[in-house]
Structure 1
Amino acid sequence: MASPKTVVIGFLGSQLDAGQGAGRWEKWRPTLSIVQHEDMAVQRFELLYSPQHRSLAELVAADVHTVSPETTVNLVEMPLKDPWDFGEVYAALYDWVRAYRFDTERERYWVHITTGTHVAQICMYLLAEARFIPGPLLQTSPPRKQKAGNPGSYALIDLDLSKYDQIAQRFERAHADAVSFLKAGIATQSPRFNALIDEVERVAVRSKAPVLLIGPTGAGKSHLARRMYELKKARHQLAGPFVEVNCATLRGDGAASALFGHKKGAYTGAQAERAGYLRSAHQGLLFLDEIGELGLDEQAMLLKAIEEKRFYPLGSDAEVESDFQLVAGTHRDLRAEVAAGRFRDDLFARINLWTYALPGLAERSEDIAPNIEHLLQLHARETGQVARFNVEARERYLRFARSAEACWRGNFRDLSASITRLATLAEGGRIGLELVEAEIERLRWLWRRQNEATQGRAEALLGPEAWAALDHFDQLQLDAVLAVCAKAPSLSEAGRQLFNVSRTQRSVVNDADRLRKYLGRYGLSWERVAGR
């Protein structure tokens, strides 16, 4: 099969291609230069021009024929009222391109972008990028020294990025670096957590919509929110500060003042104007942890601030503006809160576009080892003292840490405290078996005391008579179930933890329904058990 013929599509350069008399051959003219290259055989030239430049177009076509008799020049008149009007130029080019019969089997097409207005060049670029014109861009350049017959140079630019392995690899590396950044460089192994962080990275760099992080205390909601902020700021998507607020600490009239600010004299004790957290977060990221603890009035004000970027400080009749991105955190199931009337359904709908449930440490046993290494490295940087487990001690600690006995009630806070104690007490930087056994006993004592504090909940919920009517076996089982429910952020999550083995053997998994039915045997509901 014969090689395809070359067809060039480009605008007439009303200035660069101009010239009269014999002197025109002494200057570099980009359209003519294309056919002056000995290694470039052009079969046809689609030369676009405005009606007022008809005579110049005909002259350039004649000069092309003189230099390259085998090249056919098709003069394409393109009337444009304003060649700098993007909409008009793009529409005219689009219509012409859509009507043009491209024959990619027999011809190859090059899009000349050296001539024409900047608007025309941009439009040609967009049409080539979208593959409406199936070919690369052709960029011509003049010689360093003007000389008759010197065509200068040219370059072909293919906009099909799929062909550029290095570019694709750079995008992939950038994505991997961002994911690693969100994980603080920890080589986590949990498939569920890694998939979650992978999506969070894409959302963080592409969306300004609110993000809702759900998870138990110590699961890393605050840490992830800050890393999201730092990632966006590094990419120049945010210019303002990171503002973190624990809504559980906001109470009464002070809650609205802290969030939305107040005017001087707005209430007794308001001796000076206060900006408030929302205004302080302008152009930055606002992390509202435990958003479920806000009162209904504050929730209504927050909804307006999210949707309109405007709100009224307390005591003020003038609105203020603040354009911030919201990341919210909670350990509660906001769906249950909405059903109970404690959380506004319209606010929940607004912040529920991107919702991520962060698993607790007990659900990420694969990630305990890499997090231990990370914590030891942090300790070394902060104290200047390196600490390491010996082989036997490491195996013992990991065996306990991954077992059902280790509930990790405080999640990563418990793990961080544990590793800090071990690294601090390590003689000569060596964490041995004796030290590990002592730390395991300390953790058992800590969690046993916490469990004892929650004992009696089942009896209190059922009442003395119903409790006394149960076998001791049922009492122990119900106490254990309620302990899991107290820590889980939702009914579904509690069910996943309780039925972690049998759920894998079922064709239809409905952990929430199984747990709801179990509680129902004792006349208990999830809302009552979870205290929500």
Structure 2
Amino acid sequence: MEIANDKSWSALIVDDDAGVRQSLRLCLEAAGGRILGVGAGAAALEALERSAYDLVFLDLWLGAESGLELLPQILRRQPHTAVILITAFATFESAVQAIKAGAVDYIPKPFTPDQVRLAAERVLQARRLEARVGELEERLGELDAESFFDTENPAFRAFLQTAGRAAASDAVVLLRGESGTGKNVMARWIRDRSARHAGAFVGVNCPALSTELMSSTLFGHRKGAFTGAVADAVGKVQEAEGGTLFLDEVGDLSLDAQARLLRFLNDRTYERLGEAAERRADVRLIAATNRPLEEEVRAGRFREDLFYRLNVLSLHLPALRERPEDLLPLAGHYLRFFSSRMGRPGLRLTPAAEDAIASHGWPGNLRELRNAIERAAILSPSQELGPADLGLTHAKGAPEAAVGSLVSLEAIEREHIARVIPQAPTLEAAARILGIDATTLQRKRKRYGLV
């Protein structure tokens, strides 16, 4: 019987007795694991340099070599792995010593298959719960507010059907679309419907990384690899082992990081910065971008070969203006969510507010709508939210904000900022295009609900 119905886990067996290694291997493989057995400490450390493991079964004595002395070296190389000690010389003192050294459990020899499976299952379930709690804490406050999959729009329904088929595969997915269309939420939706739904979901916001740290963040580094690398560090690829790695705004990756990512996509191998040892990882990649990568390729800012590797399954999220049937249901959903969150039951939209929502172009897409509703729920003194509470002062049928149209300068500025930001590679670049500093741009984004 498989452990927790999940095959995306691995274990390293370190025991100098070939018979014990074989028994453990057969037991754990029957439970669904990917297993490697080695007979000495040096071989164990070499294996840990090449691949990540969820579990390590470590004999207390490897001939004349002490497993307790090897244990800290294992944890230095892979701090997140769980070490279970096995020994024929079980005493209370040795068990306490093992736990103090960092082991999570202790199995005496001779052991039964059920003992081994139970020990592995306890550890794996605890790790999954820790990862799930961390993920839910990260998503707390946005999960319900970003639920936009109930749709009356035929095009979006067709999109979700295609995305569902993509989720069932293990191929690379490239999510494309304007800023604010919900690409990060879509990435989680795909993960949740994939065979890796129980695995980790590790997100990387590429624009937030400096050029110098991109490769290190993705693939890890050894101590001394560069100035400031005071200790070994695992990368996001290793953190996502057995699960899904999401690269948000992949078009912002440096050329060095692009080269390393291409190699990883080609053969699932990579190297940490500062070391020559080749590592292997079992990770599914989902990438997202709001930039026209074809133009980035022509400009020499994005590798053509990487573009083709990412563009295997390309899904284009529609803009909110292309989903008019969903505008008011989404607004109502956000309003219910924030009414509950702010402790203001009974908040409602006036007919004029609904007209304004239906007629607005929403260049900031779902993010803009969500922010407008949240701001109104916080600041409006009334239970009835009107167009002014939402920052929408034009009535239905009023002209769209464009140069020469009969709208305020403020409306023109807001529309212009909302259109420039998705086209610029960074917010700093957008500020330079607009002729203002980054602080002013951030203030205007907050004012206009474009954050």
TM-score by length of 1: 0.46
CA distance in 1, matches of 2:316, 2:295: 15
Aligned pair count?
270
Q: What residue number does 1:262 align with?
A: 221
Q: Of 197, 200, 218, which aligns to 1:241?
A: 200
CA distance in 1, matches of 2:392, 2:371: 11
Q: Of 404, 413, 416, which aligns to 1:449?
A: 413
CA deviations 1:37-73 (Å, max 9, x no partner) are: xxxxxxxxxxxxxxxxxxxxxxxxxxxxxxxxxxxxx
Q: What residue number does 2:158 align with?
A: 195
Say whether residues 1:397 and 2:353 are aligned partners: yes
Q: Of 356, 363, 370, which aligns to 1:416?
A: 370
Write the letter of the residue equivalent to 2:358. R
Write the letter of the residue equivalent to 1:229. R
CA distance in 1, matches of 2:261, 2:223: 21
CA contact (8 A) 1:216 1:488 kept: no
> Do the aligned partners of residues 384 and 324 (structure 1) sit closer, same or farther apart at CA in structure 2, a change above 3 Å counting?
same
> Do the aligned partners of residues 421 and 227 (structure 1) sit closer, same or farther apart at CA in structure 2, a change above 3 Å counting?
same
CA contact (8 A) 1:422 1:435 kept: yes
Q: What residue number does 2:183 align with?
A: 221
CA distance in 1, matches of 2:316, 2:148: 21
> Do the aligned partners of residues 487 and 407 (structure 1) sit closer, same or farther apart at CA in structure 2, a change above 3 Å counting?
farther
Structure 1 residue 409: Cα displacement: 2.6
Q: What residue number does 2:244 align with?
A: 285
Structure 1 residue 452: Cα displacement: 5.8
> Do the aligned partners of residues 277 and 447 (structure 1) sit closer, same or farther apart at CA in structure 2, a change above 3 Å counting?
farther
CA contact (8 A) 2:240 2:283 kept: yes
> Do the aligned partners of residues 279 and 447 (structure 1) sit closer, same or farther apart at CA in structure 2, a change above 3 Å counting?
farther
Q: Of 329, 341, 349, which aligns to 2:300?
A: 341
CA distance in 2, matches of 1:415, 1:320: 44
CA distance in 2, matches of 1:402, 1:274: 49
Structure 1 residue 261: Cα displacement: 0.5
Q: How does 1:303-318 map to 2 (within 5 A)?
A: 303-318=262-277
With 445-454 and 362-371 compared, the bigger mean Cα shift is at 445-454
CA distance in 1, matches of 2:388, 2:358: 19
**Higher RCO structure (Cα 8 Å, ≥6 apart):** 2
CA RMSD after TM alignment: 3.0
CA distance in 1, matches of 2:215, 2:277: 16
> Do the aligned partners of residues 185 and 250 (structure 1) sit closer, same or farther apart at CA in structure 2, a change above 3 Å counting?
closer
Write the letter of the residue equivalent to 1:192. A
Structure 1 residue 439: Cα displacement: 4.6
Q: What residue number does 1:363 align with?
A: 322
CA distance in 1, matches of 2:421, 2:381: 39
CA contact (8 A) 1:387 1:426 kept: no
Write the letter of the residue equivalent to 1:431. L
> Do the aligned partners of residues 439 and 333 (structure 1) sit closer, same or farther apart at CA in structure 2, a change above 3 Å counting?
closer
SS at match of 1:402: helix
SS at match of 1:253: coil
Q: Of 147, 154, 171, which aligns to 1:184?
A: 147
Q: What residue number does 1:6 align with?
A: none
Say whether residues 1:440 and 2:393 are aligned partners: yes
Q: What residue number does 1:230 align with?
A: 192
Structure 1 residue 446: Cα displacement: 6.0
CA contact (8 A) 2:174 2:311 kept: yes
> Do the aligned partners of residues 314 and 487 (structure 1) sit closer, same or farther apart at CA in structure 2, a change above 3 Å counting?
closer
CA contact (8 A) 1:243 1:286 kept: yes
> Do the aligned partners of residues 382 and 486 (structure 1) sit closer, same or farther apart at CA in structure 2, a change above 3 Å counting?
closer
CA contact (8 A) 2:199 2:242 kept: yes
SS at match of 1:287: strand
TM-score by length of 2: 0.54
> Do the aligned partners of residues 487 and 316 (structure 1) sit closer, same or farther apart at CA in structure 2, a change above 3 Å counting?
closer
Identity of aligned residues (%): 36
CA contact (8 A) 1:257 1:313 kept: yes
Unpaired segments of 5 or more residues in structure 1? 1-180, 455-482, 490-532
> Do the aligned partners of residues 210 and 432 (structure 1) sit closer, same or farther apart at CA in structure 2, a change above 3 Å counting?
same
Structure 1 residue 419: Cα displacement: 1.0
> Do the aligned partners of residues 445 and 387 (structure 1) sit closer, same or farther apart at CA in structure 2, a change above 3 Å counting?
farther
Structure 1 residue 308: Cα displacement: 1.5
Write the letter of the residue equivalent to 2:345. V
> Do the aligned partners of residues 435 and 251 (structure 1) sit closer, same or farther apart at CA in structure 2, a change above 3 Å counting?
closer
Q: What residue number does 1:57 align with?
A: none
> Do the aligned partners of residues 370 and 452 (structure 1) sit closer, same or farther apart at CA in structure 2, a change above 3 Å counting?
closer
CA contact (8 A) 1:422 1:431 kept: yes
CA contact (8 A) 2:174 2:286 kept: yes
SS at match of 2:393: helix
CA contact (8 A) 2:173 2:312 kept: yes
CA contact (8 A) 1:248 1:293 kept: yes
CA contact (8 A) 1:387 1:423 kept: no
SS at match of 1:369: helix
CA deviations 1:281-322 (Å, max 9, x no partner) are: 111111101111112221111011122221000001111222
SS at match of 2:373: helix
